Amino acid sequence: MLEKIKALEKIALQLEPASLERKKMREAVVHYSEGFLDKIDTLKAYNTTTDKGKQILDAPIQEQGIDIETILNLIEHNIDRPGLNPASGGHLAYIPGGGIYPSSLGDFLADVTNRYAGVFYANPGAVRVENLLLRWMCDLFGFPPEAGGNLTSGGSMANLIAIVAARDFKQLKSRDFEKVVIYSTAQVHHCTLKAIKISGLYEAIQRDIPMDEHFRMDAKALEKAILEDQQNGLIPFMVMASAGTTDTGAIDPLDAVADICQAQDLWFHVDGAYGGFFVLSEEVKAKFKGIERADSIVIDPHKGLFLPYGSGALLVRNVKGLYHSQHMEANYLQDSFDDIEELSPADLSPELTKPFRGLRLWLPLQLFGVAPFRAALSEKIWLCRYFYEAIQKIDGFEVGTYPDLSVMTYRYVPKTGDANAYNLDLNNRVKEEGSVFISSTTINGLVYLRLAVLSFRTHLHTINRLLEVLTSLTKA
């Protein structure tokens, strides 16, 4: 038996490379990532390739490993080249991604030490970091001391947890689901609709409230709908407002919606996954008035704080509601029950074992301070306003509504022919050119191009590049 154990140990020890081996791997990875960052400004924002990374399939998982150089080569050609480059400042489509460098070092440290941040008893320091970050975010939105939340993998998960918490807080019974009403606009993010489905509330009535000409929820129409529903014996339950819609960047009239939710006793949820962190920018802070009265807010550090993908957050006005929705006890966790100086993330989310997400956010905030984040967010606002003016000076272009934040729509109106088809084709031609990447949407039957400025690498020269590309591609 001892022979057997020793023989297995010898092979298993490959999982623990010695210092020199670690150095070799680490230096190869650092060398590759430095090469990537050194040329980031010249890499395409979208790379159309014929093979679409197919060679990755030529390297199946096998019993024996391969060397790090071969692996990095596979990554470079099949993963980092084809398709969208979210790390590029030229990514001006959908909601652009981030990837500030110190977050990767935070992830590196969290992974090497593998701290467990789910339960206070297991790692009080890590849990304090996560709670400190959540407190900082709650303060940004003017939430009271009894507020709290959870660091999630992204906005979709945060919206799902919020809807489940609201469902439990309002003690909805499944036999009543058919009478429950949820209010939003047609511009609400589709992940909230998915969350309604996953939370079991797919039988609930989802009311689309009309919008004003800026695609903001019409508060009067909301109030009218709620009162009518009450009279008809239905159960008005929650309003899902947006603080920055994905399509046009519109902020719903949060203060007016808060009044209505308060008077009619509805849960007031705000999806700020795209726009929430703009509360840091003095340029637009006032537009968020009323958000401090929300019951729950979703924000996405991997959007508005430029983190790499994998960081969302849910803030709840009274954290007890979230706790009662997510807390569960098990005998095998009994050793942790008494050490409750701080709330544990595992009691505020469906996740038990999870990565220590706090470090990738805490480390850059400590290292840089808040000031550069604030400046970058204001810069994005002004870049969008700059484009809004500049694009109208190019022959043939017209704009949609003035941007609330850093997303706006515009389109080219050809003198003859189908404008929708023209703009879809123009969108494709921008993609093929590749130095910048934009996307399109359809509003009231018209195809629009979208500009979304949120990458920390997008600066004035990037917007000028987009203007140049659009000028040259539409020249007669």
| Contact status: 290 vs ligand PLP (CB under 6 A) | no
Q: Which residue has the tokens 């389109």?
A: 411
| Residue whose C-alpha is closest to residue 91's, from 447, 430, 471 | 430
Nearer to ligand PLP (CB atom), residue 96 or residue 358: 96
CB neighbours of 342 closer than 8 A, spacing ≥ 6?
Answer: 120, 124, 127, 128, 131
Are the beta carbons of 78 and 56 closer than 8 angstroms? yes
With CB under 6 A as the contact rule, the residue among 246, 248, 349, 458 that binds ligand PLP is 246
Question: Taking CB under 6 A as the criterion, which residues in 13-42 touch ligand PLP?
Answer: none
Nearer to ligand PLP (CB atom), residue 274 or residue 306: 274
CB neighbours of 415 closer than 8 A, spacing ≥ 6?
Answer: 396
CB 352 to ligand PLP: min, Å: 20
The span from the first CA to the last CA of the chain, in angstroms, equals: 81
CB 309 to ligand PLP: min, Å: 8
Query: Which burial class, exposed, middle or buried, applies to 278 when counting CB atoms under 10 A from its CB (0-12, 13-18, 19+)?
Result: buried
Distance from C-alpha of 259 to C-alpha of 262, rounded to nearest angstrom:
5
CB 187 to ligand PLP: min, Å: 9
Cα separations (Å) of 404 from 65, 133, 377? Answer: 52, 27, 13
CB 97 to ligand PLP: min, Å: 10
Stretch that binds ligand PLP, among 5-13, 65-73, 154-162, 464-472 (CB under 6 A): 154-162
| Residue whose C-alpha is closest to residue 101's, from 44, 25, 38 | 38
With CB under 6 A as the contact rule, the residue among 85, 103, 131, 156 that binds ligand PLP is 156
| Contact status: 155 vs ligand PLP (CB under 6 A) | yes
Nearer to ligand PLP (CB atom), residue 96 or residue 345: 96
Nearer to ligand PLP (CB atom), residue 133 or residue 273: 273
| Contact status: 252 vs ligand PLP (CB under 6 A) | no
Residue 14 is classified by DSSP as G
Q: What angle do CA 239, 243, 247 make, to 5 degrees?
A: 100
CB 95 to ligand PLP: min, Å: 5
With CB under 6 A as the contact rule, the residue among 162, 191, 204, 453 that binds ligand PLP is 191
With CB under 6 A as the contact rule, the residue among 271, 292, 379, 404 that binds ligand PLP is 271
Please identify the residue of the shown chain whose CB is closest to the bound ligand PLP. 155
* Site size with ligand PLP, rule: CB under 6 A: 13
The token pair that represents 283 in the structure block: 């340029």
180-184: strand order across its sheet: 148-152, 312-316, 296-299, 267-272, 235-242, 180-184, 205-208
| Contact status: 279 vs ligand PLP (CB under 6 A) | no
Nearer to ligand PLP (CB atom), residue 242 or residue 423: 242
Stretch that binds ligand PLP, among 33-41, 56-64, 267-275, 432-440 (CB under 6 A): 267-275
Q: What angle do CA 357, 359, 30 make, to 5 degrees?
A: 100
Stretch that binds ligand PLP, among 39-47, 58-66, 148-156, 413-421 (CB under 6 A): 148-156
Are the beta carbons of 9 and 46 closer than 8 angstroms? no
Q: Three-class SS of residue 210?
A: coil
Alpha-carbon dihedral of residues 326, 332, 337, 342, nearest 10 degrees? Answer: -60
CB 305 to ligand PLP: min, Å: 12
Cα separations (Å) of 24 from 8, 13, 27, 254? Answer: 25, 17, 5, 54
Q: Write each residue from 205 to 244 as x if it is in contact with ligand PLP (CB under 6 A), else as -, in one continuous string.
A: -------------------------------------x--
CB 156 to ligand PLP: min, Å: 3
CB 96 to ligand PLP: min, Å: 11
Question: Taking CB under 6 A as the criterion, which residues in 60-79 touch ligand PLP?
Answer: none
| Contact status: 312 vs ligand PLP (CB under 6 A) | yes
Q: Write each residue from 79 to 118 as x if it is in contact with ligand PLP (CB under 6 A), else as -, in one continuous string.
A: ----------------x-----------------------
Are the beta carbons of 276 and 300 closer than 8 angstroms? yes
Q: Write each residue from 390 to 419 as x if it is in contact with ligand PLP (CB under 6 A), else as -, in one continuous string.
A: ------------------------------
The partner residues of 182 in beta bridges, in order of sequence, read: 206, 238
The token pair that represents 28 in the structure block: 């190869």
Stretch that binds ligand PLP, among 270-278, 408-416, 428-436, 456-464 (CB under 6 A): 270-278
The token pair that represents 376 in the structure block: 């970058």
With CB under 6 A as the contact rule, the residue among 195, 257, 273, 359 that binds ligand PLP is 273
Contacting positions for ligand PLP (CB under 6 A): 95, 154-156, 189, 191, 242, 246, 271, 273-274, 300, 312
